[in-house]
Amino acid sequence: MGIKEGDTAYLNLDWSVVPIIPKYVDLLIGEMLNEDLKIVGFARQDMSDDQFRRLMGDGVREFADLAVRTDEWDAFAKSLSYVQGDLEQPEDFLRLGRHLAAVEAGGTGANRLYYLSVAPRFFSATVANLQTSGLAETEGGWRRVVIEKPFGRDLKSARSLNSVVHQAFDESQVYRIDHYLGKETVQNLLVLRFGNTIFEPVWNRNYVDNVQITAAEEVTVGDRAGYYDQSGVVRDMVQNHLLQLLTMVAMEPPNAMDADSLRNHKVEVLRAIRRWTPEEATRATVLGQYRGYLEENGVESQSVTPTYAALRLYVDNWRWQGVPFYLRTGKSMADKVTEIVIQFRCPPHMMFASGGGGALDPNLLSLCLQPDEGLHLRFGVKVPGEGMVMGTKDLEFHYASAFKEQAIPEAYERLLQDALEGDASLFIRSDHIEEAWRIVEPIIDSKENSINQPQRYEPGSWGPPAADALLAETANSWWQVCGEHGSAHA
């Protein structure tokens, strides 16, 4: 770990600490963190250190599918302590500061990682209070702040939050989380593209017909309806996770695997995305709401919050000019699958008949991000026996079988470790956040101007039929290759 022997790092957490700790428990209890790490919970509810430890222990048992030995847990639990406080009360931060000083045994040079796993409406106040109470000052050790999503509700609020954050911390101290970037398979995209020679030469408008990025979920909004109804799918998934995936697919090769190079190239992609007016956004977007959403507990009875979005974007640069990027995501869909499909152009002339009697499938490269992590490369083969008839088959790679002995780490595990080590490569920079809002704002505006109302779709389906029509406009259709082990259009 980057934490030197004798250093101390602090995590200050609010309520959602309960599901968060189990996500990290593997990392925390394992060999990766040194014994000097202390975790300080900071939340409104009054409780003692022991109650906090018990609560965390219950959380671990309830949320984590981990066999944590009692003696391991007991040893780990000693590093937990708790301060009762209100995120909006500056005096409570002074108390927090005194507690931290006591835990540090008065020593200087300790490092602190402030983890704002708090409701987004408290981000500003928390950062401002960290500053006014002196907790952002370094005193010999580093200070970093991890901020959960959503970072802002639109461009204006993201900008104003960035300015509050920058009054307290330098950008290099700020780690804005998007858990998709912690997924092993998302990072594999970089290795696939820039660690091989065979993909990059065809990774452009000359060979790629279109790119499809799907993040479908079977779950409904469930008990998150209160939050979700105020946000909707564009803020919840498109602005962050889907645009992150798009930038990783479309970025130019960075010269080094460091935070600046990587993030500069990703922002370049966002800057190249064609801007829309709300009317253009309406034409290039399909919003949906699953039937039954309005009956969910916590959803307003007339809510027009979309739970599904499909959109077509263009990246206006030399590499991608004219190649449509299709993004879709939704709740209550037919399958849980996150997949990127690169559809290549068909051969300019076809001499062979198709095995199925229909049109031949093009070459596809499907990157399965979850649940069946791996990739498929679809190509044409001669069907045995039947003259010169062609079919398609997939070459497949699956993490589960290729790396049997190695579990795929939790995204948060990796990200927390990176933040402690000071590696910001997989965190979002302020300019990226603002560009991403600039891209999705016309969709939000078109919805809020009532010119782009969500269409109903059946739970367990692939979204509104209009999403198929959107692809048909460029003579395409949605692919689902991941998990199919065969050829299928979804």
Nearest to ligand BG6 of 303, 338 (CB atom): 338
Tell me the angle at which helices 17-29 and 49-63 cross, rounded to the nearest 10 degrees. Answer: 80
Give the DSSP letter string of 240-286: IIIHHHHHHHHPPPPSSSSHHHHHHHHHHHHHHBPP--HHHHHHTEE
Q: Cα separations (Å) of 159 from 249, 265, 267, 425?
A: 26, 21, 16, 21
State whether the Cα torsion 143-149-151-152 is positive or negative: negative
Bridge partners (DSSP) listed for residue 146: 115, 175
Quote the least distance from Cβ 433 to ligand BG6, whole Å. Answer: 14
Nearest to ligand BG6 of 209, 372 (CB atom): 372
The residue annotated as part of the active site, out of 99, 179, 241, 432, is: 241
Question: Contact with ligand BG6 (CB under 6 A): which of 217, 339, 410, 413?
Answer: 217
Place of tokens 């697919």: 249
Binders of ligand BG6 in range 1-30 (CB under 6 A): none
Size of the site for ligand BG6 (CB under 6 A): 4
224-263 mask for ligand BG6 (x: CB under 6 A)? ------------x---------------------------
Nearest to ligand BG6 of 231, 425 (CB atom): 231
Whether 398 contacts 373, CB under 8 Å: yes
Nearest to ligand BG6 of 209, 373 (CB atom): 373
Beta strand spans in 58-127 (E): 80-84, 112-116
User: Within 10 Å of residue 371's Cβ, how many Cβ atoms?
Assistant: 12
373 binds ligand BG6 (CB under 6 A): no
Quote the least distance from Cβ 258 to ligand BG6, whole Å. Answer: 26
Could you tell me the strand order of the sheet in which 174-176 lies? 80-84, 38-43, 10-13, 112-116, 143-147, 174-176
Query: Residue 488: which of 398, 399, 400, 394 has the closest Cα?
Result: 394
Nearest to ligand BG6 of 111, 338 (CB atom): 338
Nearest to ligand BG6 of 209, 296 (CB atom): 296
Largest CA distance in the chain: 83
Quote the least distance from Cβ 181 to ligand BG6, whole Å. Answer: 11
Q: Name the residue number minimizing CB distance to ligand BG6.
A: 236
Place of tokens 């077509």: 312
Tokens of 286: 């399909």
Quote the least distance from Cβ 369 to ligand BG6, whole Å. Answer: 8
Cα–Cα distance measured from residue 422 to residue 9, given in angstroms and rounded to the nearest whole number? 12
Q: Is 232 left (phi over 0), alpha (psi -120 to 50) or beta?
A: left
Half-sphere exposure (Cβ direction) of 463: Cα atoms closer than 13 Å: 28
Quote the least distance from Cβ 296 to ligand BG6, whole Å. Answer: 13
Cα–Cα distance measured from residue 301 to residue 252, given in angstroms and rounded to the nearest whole number? 46
Binders of ligand BG6 in range 63-82 (CB under 6 A): none
Nearest to ligand BG6 of 129, 240 (CB atom): 240
Residue 361 in 3-state DSSP?
A: coil
Quote the least distance from Cβ 311 to ligand BG6, whole Å. Answer: 17
Quote the least distance from Cβ 84 to ligand BG6, whole Å. Answer: 28
Binders of ligand BG6 in range 325-364 (CB under 6 A): 338
Quote the least distance from Cβ 54 to ligand BG6, whole Å. Answer: 28
Q: Which residues contact 194 (CB under 8 A, 6 or more apart)?
A: 200, 253, 254
Tell me which long-range contacts 402-405 makes (C-beta under 8 A, separation of at least 24): 402/374
Quote the least distance from Cβ 232 to ligand BG6, whole Å. Answer: 10
Nearest to ligand BG6 of 77, 367 (CB atom): 367
| 99 is an active site residue | no
Query: Residue 103: which of 47, 179, 29, 38 has the closest Cα?
Result: 38
Tokens of 56: 């965390």
Nearest to ligand BG6 of 104, 217 (CB atom): 217
Residue ranges that bind ligand BG6, judged by CB under 6 A: 215, 217, 236, 338
- Tell me which residues are annotated as active site: 241
